[in-house]
Amino acid sequence: MIQVDGLSKTFKNKKGGVQAVAEVSFHVAPGEIVGFLGQNGAGKTTTLRMLTTLLQPTSGRARVAGCDLLADPQGVRRKIGYVAQSGGTSPAASVRSELVFQGRLYHMSQADAVRRANQLLEELNLSQLAERPTITLSGGQRRRLDIALGLVHRPEVLFLDEPSAALDPQSRSMLWEHVRDVRDTHGTTVFLSTHYLDEADALCDRVLIIDRGQIVAEDSPANLKRQLAHDVVTVEVASGADRAGAALAEHPAVRDVRVDGETVRLTVENNDRVLLEFLRTLGRAGVEPTSVQVVRPTLDDVFLSITGRSLDAAAPQPLNA
């Protein structure tokens, strides 16, 4: 559905230029939800704006929904929906009238535009808000309207740029459900940019990690975390932490042992069987554990491992649902 080969974008300035995107290449299969994960300023939005024909690439090629990005930009526009970081609704217009107007922009008849608007109002839980001016909507309601506007013409690909930025957790969770439903019900391919780790983990079939304008990793969230091949096991003991640490360090799955007071922290290879073996080892060493906790790798751990930096971007203050 999306095929990108060596796409680049350089913005000119007085010093010559800044390369925002550096020869990225990737593909997105029909029906996938693919996340573009990276820090703010990594090149996510620039890439989306190129793929949606809003920016001219400096070099490279791409095909979107069967249309060549450079040779047939109008064909691309007909087959995609794009939801930018900030919506463009008229404050005084009603929710329903905005949807109908969007349909008319795509050359629907008045009757067809009204029918499509009513369908989207129902699908995105906006029916009770249909006659309200858009300026009165909460942040979560407005983002649902933005997505509805992007879906009016039944696009084959839906591009979402930071779809849940500034939303509170409940609104974000509801938005994710609607995005999944768009794919599951209609088969729409979804390509979204985000710097929220939980969003990429919960929503995406695959993740592309972009750093300084280059794609540095891609896979499913589960596989990316599995590649780190380690868990952190924290064992609290009643006494004898040094003895416990020394005994557990002999296990072949243990990569690192740190003892802090009566707490033993182990970095271990991913292996669901080691916990039982650890408990047996502690029993033989005469140490009684009071608690055991396992922490799996996160996408932030993946990003840190690949780039040397944490993906702990400062998020905007959440809006109400």
Three-class SS state of 97: helix
Identify whether residues 194 and 250 lie together within a single domain.
Answer: no
**Boundaries of domain holding 242:** 229-296
Identify whether residues 72 and 189 lie together within a single domain.
Answer: yes
Task: Report d(CA 100, CA 111) in Å as an integer.
Answer: 9
- Which DSSP category does 189 fall into? E
Give the number of domains in the chain.
2
pLDDT at 315: 42
Establish how many alpha carbons lie within 13 A of residue 262's alpha carbon, considering only the half-sphere containing its beta carbon. 11
- Looking at this protein, which amino acid is placed at residue 165? A
CATH code, 198 = 3.40.50.300
Q: Quote the tokens at residue 160.
A: 């979402």
Identify whether residues 204 and 291 lie together within a single domain.
Answer: no
Per-residue pLDDT of the chain (321 residues; tens, 9 = 90+): 999 999 999 998 888 889 999 999 999 999 999 999 988 889 999 999 999 999 999 999 999 999 999 999 999 999 999 999 887 889 999 999 999 999 999 999 999 999 999 999 999 999 999 999 999 999 889 999 999 999 999 999 999 999 988 788 888 888 999 999 999 999 999 999 998 888 998 899 999 999 999 999 999 998 888 777 688 889 999 899 999 999 999 998 888 898 989 999 888 876 667 888 899 999 999 999 999 988 877 788 888 778 777 776 444 444 444
- Looking at this protein, which amino acid is placed at residue 289? P
- Which DSSP category does 316 fall into? P
Cα–Cα separations (whole angstroms), residue 310 to 109, 267, 305, 314, 317: 50, 19, 9, 11, 20
Q: Is residue 250 part of a domain?
A: yes
pLDDT at 108: 96
Q: Is residue 285 part of a domain?
A: yes
Q: Is residue 309 part of a domain?
A: no
Answer whether 164's CB lies under 8 Å from 318's CB. Answer: no
pTM confidence score: 0.81
Task: Report d(CA 10, CA 271) in Å as an integer.
Answer: 45
CATH code, 282 = 3.30.70.100
Q: Quote the tokens at residue 91.
A: 């404050």
pLDDT at 76: 97
Identify whether residues 121 and 209 lie together within a single domain.
Answer: yes
Q: Is residue 188 part of a domain?
A: yes
The torsion defined by the Cα of 24, 29, 32 and 35, in degrees rounded to 10, comes to 0
Q: Is residue 316 part of a domain?
A: no
pLDDT at 285: 92
Picking from 225, 260, 281, the residue at the C-terminal end of a domain is: 225
- Which DSSP category does 170 fall into? H
Residue 271: CB atoms within 10 Å: 14
